[in-house]
């Protein structure tokens, strides 16, 4: 990848987004929903900015390719866990979202252990899944911050999160099984 330097503006922005995660979790558990929503917006804007800079100014790097999805997952998983623990979103949704990420990370680790690393490139379904998860989290945080009823949009977005999460993990696991099936027995 071009520009494999560690210290680049997109990488610094991504590291900043990772550092926002504990602030958002603190805000949620402290019932500071306006703060949680505002920091979530800042994190979302920073994600768009670092992606734009990396592509527009050819600042992409291997580190950035690893850090960006890590930052996204750390943010989403933390928000879903915090909102689920406090009962603001159904726990089954939290279990579904978190389990998907655990399964994918486990598959990647197993691939490394068998010296058959799998290339991680997000599918269209995975991108739709992330968009649905972000939209649902944003709606829930906004409704808590500004005191409005999110219905029926919360149910619609929850449906999208469910369908896209199940679809994306199924596609990843099928591809992973196909990739791993080439391992020879000793």
Predicted local distance difference test score (pLDDT) of residue 5: 56
Q: Write out pLDDT tens, residues 19-43.
A: 999 999 999 999 999 999 999 999 9
Question: Alpha-carbon Rg of the chain, whole angstroms?
Answer: 18
The ranges of the chain with pLDDT < 70 are 1-6, 185-186
Tell me which residue has tokens 């945080």: 141
∠ Cα 178 182 186 (to 5°) = 140
DSSP string, 60-75: --HHHHHHHHHHHHHH
Which residues are CB-neighbours of 44 under 8 A, at least 6 positions away? 134, 138
pTM: 0.91
């Amino acid at each position: 990848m071009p520009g494999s330097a560690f210290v680049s503006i997109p990488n610094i922005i991504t590291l900043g987004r990772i550092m926002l995660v504990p602030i958002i979790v603190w805000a949620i558990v402290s019932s500071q929903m306006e703060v949680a929503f505002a920091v979530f917006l800042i994190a979302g804007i920073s994600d768009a900015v670092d992606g734009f800079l990396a592509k527009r100014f050819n600042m992409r790097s291997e580190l950035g390719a690893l850090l960006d999805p890590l930052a996204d997952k750390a943010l989403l998983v933390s928000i879903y866990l915090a909102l689920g623990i406090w009962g603001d979103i159904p726990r089954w949704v939290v279990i579904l979202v978190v389990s998907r990420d655990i399964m994918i990370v486990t598959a990647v680790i197993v691939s490394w252990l068998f010296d058959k690393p799998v290339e991680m490139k997000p599918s269209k379904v995975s991108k739709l899944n992330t968009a649905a998860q972000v939209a649902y989290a944003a709606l829930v945080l906004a409704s808590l911050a500004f005191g409005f009823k999110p219905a029926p949009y919360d149910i619609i977005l929850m449906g999208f999160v469910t369908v896209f999460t199940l679809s994306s993990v199924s596609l990843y696991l099928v591809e992973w099984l196909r990739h791993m099936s080439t391992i020879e027995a000793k």
